[in-house]
Amino acid sequence: MNILAVESSCDETAVAVVRDGRTVLADAVASQADMHAIYGGVVPEIASRKHIEAIVGLSGQALEQAGIGKTDLDAVAVTYAPGLIGAVLVGVNFAKAAAFALELPLVPVHHVRGHIAANYIAHPELEPPFVCLCVSGGNTLIVDVRGYTEMEVMGATRDDAAGECFDKAARVLGIGYPGGAPMDRLAQGGDDRRYDLPRSHVSGAPLDMSFSGLKTAVINLVHNAGQKGEALDLPGLAASFSAAVSDTLVPRTMEAARLRGYGKVAVAGGVAANSRIRADLERACRRSGDKLYLPPLSLCGDNGAMIGCQGYYEYLAGVRAGMDLNAYANRDIGKG
Ligand code: KG4
pLDDT for res 253: 98
What does the pLDDT average to over 287-309?
A: 97
Judge if the beta carbon of residue 114 lies within 6 A of ligand 1.
no
Q: Which domains does the chain have, with CATH numbers?
A: 2-115+299-335 (3.30.420.40), 128-298 (3.30.420.40)
Report the DSSP beta bridge partners of residue 130.
Answer: 145
Work out whether the CA dihedral 173, 174, 178, 184 comes out positive or negative: negative
Q: Residue 40: pLDDT band by 50, 70, 90 thresholds?
A: confident
User: How does pLDDT run across 118-170, given as a tens digit for each residue?
Assistant: 999 999 999 999 999 999 999 999 999 999 999 999 999 999 999 999 999 99
Q: Please indicate whether residue 270, judged by its CB atom, sits closer than 6 Å to ligand 1.
A: yes
pLDDT at 134: 98
Residue 290 CA to ligand 1 centre (angstroms): 25
**Roughly how many angstroms between the first and final C-alpha of the chain, as a whole number?**
21
Does ligand 1 come within 6 angstroms of the Cβ of 170?
no
pLDDT at 27 over 90: yes
Distance from the CA of 97 to the center of ligand 1, in angstroms?
30
pLDDT exceeds cutoff 90 at 25: yes
Rounded Cα–Cα distance for residues 220 and 38 (Å): 23
Residue 298 Cα to ligand 1 midpoint, Å, equals 12
336 band by pLDDT with thresholds 50, 70 and 90: confident
Question: From CA 230, how far away is CA 222, in angstroms rounded?
Answer: 9
- The reported pLDDT for the residue numbered 41 is 87
Residue 31 has pLDDT above 90, yes or no: yes
Q: Determine the distance separating the centroid of ligand 1 and the alpha carbon of 307, expressed in angstroms.
A: 17
Q: How far does the centroid of ligand 1 lie from the alpha carbon of residue 302, in Å? A: 9
Establish whether residue 179 lines the binding site of ligand 1, counting it when its CB lies within 6 angstroms of any ligand atom.
yes
Task: Give the model confidence (pLDDT) of 189-213 as tens digits.
Answer: 899 999 999 999 999 999 999 999 9
Q: Is the pLDDT of residue 177 over 90?
A: no
- Output the average pLDDT for the chain: 97
